[in-house]
Amino acid sequence: MIEPTKFLKELSDEGLFRALRNIECLPDGMARMADGREVVNLASNDYLGLAHHPAIISRMKDALGRYGAGAMASRLVTGTRDLHTQLEQELARMKHAEAALCFSAGYTTSVGVISSLVGKDDFVVMDKLSHASLIDGAKLSGATIRTFLHNNVASLDAKLAQIRAKFPHAGILVVTESVFSMDGDRAPLAEIVDIKNKWGAVLLVDEAHGFGVLGEYGAGLAEELGVSEGIEFQMGTLSKSAGLSGGYVATSRAWADTLINSARSFIYSTAPSPVMIAGALESLGIIRSDEGKKRREQVRLLAKRFSTFLGEASRPTSSIFPVVIGSNEDALAASQSLLEKGFLAPAIRFPTVPKGTARLRITLTAAHSIEQVDQLINLMK
Ligand SMILES: *Cc1c(COP(=O)(O)O)cnc(C)c1O
C-alpha cells in the first residue's frame, strides 16, 4: 500500500509534487489567481472560447428548468433523454459515422471503449505518446500492449508485421491521438489508415485536441484530411473545444450497439446530465457554424503569429505549443517567473510527459487577443 509520508517526500525531492490551486477562469482569456491577481491564461483547453458563450449558458439554463439537474439513472435504465439521442445523432453526422455514443468524460470513454473492444488474445498497438486514458483502457483490457515510435508510420508498420507473422487471426486495435495533447503535433492519419487496413487491424483515434479546431466544420483532423470513414472509432471529448464536459465515440451502428452492451463505463455510470447535453448541442451548433469558422480562424491567426516567433512558421496549426525545458526544477522556475510577469502556464512534468522533457505547455484560444500574444512574445524575447 502507498505510504503517504514516504511517497510525498519522494515526489518533493524530484520536483514532482503537485498541489491544487484555486483559479477563476475569465471569459477574455484571463484568469484570476487566489490572491486576486489577473493573469493571461495560457493553460486552458477551451480552444474556441466557448465555456462562457452566452447562447450555451442560456440553453443550459433552459434545460435545467425543463429536465431537472441530473439524469437520475444510467443510460440503459432511465437516463436517456431525447437530448442524448439528438446529441449522438449530431456527433455521428459531424463525424461521417453511422452512430455515436456519449459518455460522462473523455477519460471514461477511452477506458470503456478500449477495454470492451479487445481482450487477452488481442493486441493494442499504440503511439508511444498516447494519453493516459488510452493507456489505462489498454491495460484494463488485458490485451498485449505494443507501442510504436511517435508519429512514425514505418515503426507502426513493423509492429503490425511482427504481430501478424505470429498471430494471423488476432484482433489488433491501433490507437493514436490526432493532435497530441502535450506536443501539439499531428498524427499522419491517412498513412495510419492505409497501414491498419493492410494488416487487417482496426483504428481508434482520439480527437480530444483536434475537435473544434480542425476541419472545415470543426469535426477534427480526420475531417480536415478526409479520412473519417477509414477510422472505426473516432473518439473525443466535450471538455475541451466544446467548453463543457463529457466524452464521445463515433462508430458504426453495430459497434455502437456492441458498446452499449459491453462498455462498463457506459453501462455502470449515471448518464451525463441533460443540462450538459443541452449545452453540448448548442456548442456543436456553434462549432459547425460560421461563428465556429471565425473562432477557428482566430486560433489559426494567433497560432501562426506565435509559431512564426518560435521559428516554426511552417508548423501545421494547432493551439498547443510545448516549450520544452528539461528538468522539473527548471520548468517550475520558468512557470513561476512567467506567472510573476502575468502569464499562467503550468509546468508539465513526468509522467504526463517523458522524463527529462518537462515543459511549459502554452495553449492559445479564440478567447485570446493578438495583443495578449504579442505581450507574451515580447516577454519571451
Ligand atoms: C483530456 C483528454 C482526454 C480526457 O478527456 P476528459 O473529457 O477531460 O476526461 C482524453 N484524451 C486526450 C488525448 C485528452 O487530452
CA distances from 283 to 68, 91, 370 (A): 20, 11, 24
Task: Give me ligand 1 centre to Cα 133, in Å.
Answer: 7
Residue nearest to atom 7 of ligand 1 (CA): 106
Per-residue pLDDT, 94: 98
Q: What value does the mean pLDDT take over residues 7-30?
A: 94
Fold classification of 54-288 is Aspartate Aminotransferase; domain 2 (3.40.640)
Query: What is the percentage of the chain residues whose pLDDT exceeds 70?
Result: 100
Task: Give me ligand 1 centre to Cα 208, in Å.
Answer: 6
Confidence tier at 233 by pLDDT (50, 70, 90): very high
Q: Could you tell me if the CB of 133 is within 6 A of ligand 1? A: yes
Per-residue pLDDT, 316: 81
- Return the active site residues: 45, 131, 177, 181, 206, 209, 240
pLDDT in tens, 58-96: 999 999 999 999 999 999 999 999 999 999 999 999 999
The pTM score is: 0.97
Task: Give me ligand 1 centre to Cα 248, in Å.
Answer: 11
Per-residue pLDDT, 243: 98
How far apart CA 169 and CA 99 sit, in angstroms, is 27
Q: Could you tell me if the CB of 349 is within 6 A of ligand 1? A: no
What's the 3-state SS for the chain? CCCHHHHHHHHHHCCCCCCCCCEEECCCCEEEECCCCEEEECCCCCCCCCCCCHHHHHHHHHHHHHHCCCCCCEHHHHHCCHHHHHHHHHHHHHCCCCEEEEECCHHHHHHHHHHHHCCCCCEEEEECCCCHHHHHHHHHHCCEEEEECCCCHHHHHHHHHHHHHHCCCCCEEEEEECECCCCCCECCHHHHHHHHHHCCCEEEEECCCCCCCCCCCCCCHHHHHCCHHHCCEEEEECCCCCCCCCEEEEECHHHHHHHHCCCHHHHCCECCCHHHHHHHHHHHHHHHCHHHHHHHHHHHHHHHHHHHHCCCCCCCCCCEEEEEEECHHHHHHHHHHHHHCCEECCEECCCCCCCCCEEEEEECCCCCCHHHHHHHHHHHC
Q: Which residue among 131, 185, 204, 361 has the greatest number of ligand 1 atoms within 8 angstroms of its CB, and so is best to mutate? A: 131
Per-residue pLDDT, 381: 85
Q: What value does the mean pLDDT take over residues 194-213?
A: 98
pLDDT in tens, 311-351: 988 888 789 999 999 999 999 999 999 999 999 998 999 99
The ranges assigned to domains in the chain are 4-52+290-380, 54-288
Ligand 1 atom closest to residue 108's alpha carbon, by position in its atom list? 9
Q: What value does the mean pLDDT take over residues 222-238?
A: 98
Contacts of 182 (CB under 8 A, 6+ apart): 129, 320, 322, 348, 352, 353, 359, 361
Residues in the chain: 381
Task: Give me ligand 1 centre to Cα 230, in Å.
Answer: 22
Q: What value does the mean pLDDT take over residues 219-239?
A: 98
Q: Could you tell me if the CB of 112 is within 6 A of ligand 1? A: no
CATH class of residue range 4-52+290-380? alpha beta
Residue 297 class from Cβ within 10 Å (0-12 exposed, 13-18 middle, 19+ buried)? exposed
| Closest C-alpha among 216, 235, 362, 240 to residue 302 | 362
Q: Does residue 295 have a pLDDT over 90?
A: yes
What do you get for the CA distance between the two ends of the chain, in Å?
A: 48
pLDDT in tens, 182-197: 999 999 999 999 999 9
Q: Could you tell me if the CB of 183 is within 6 A of ligand 1? A: no
Query: What is the percentage of the chain residues whose pLDDT exceeds 90?
Result: 96
Confidence tier at 157 by pLDDT (50, 70, 90): very high
Q: Does residue 30 have a pLDDT over 90?
A: yes
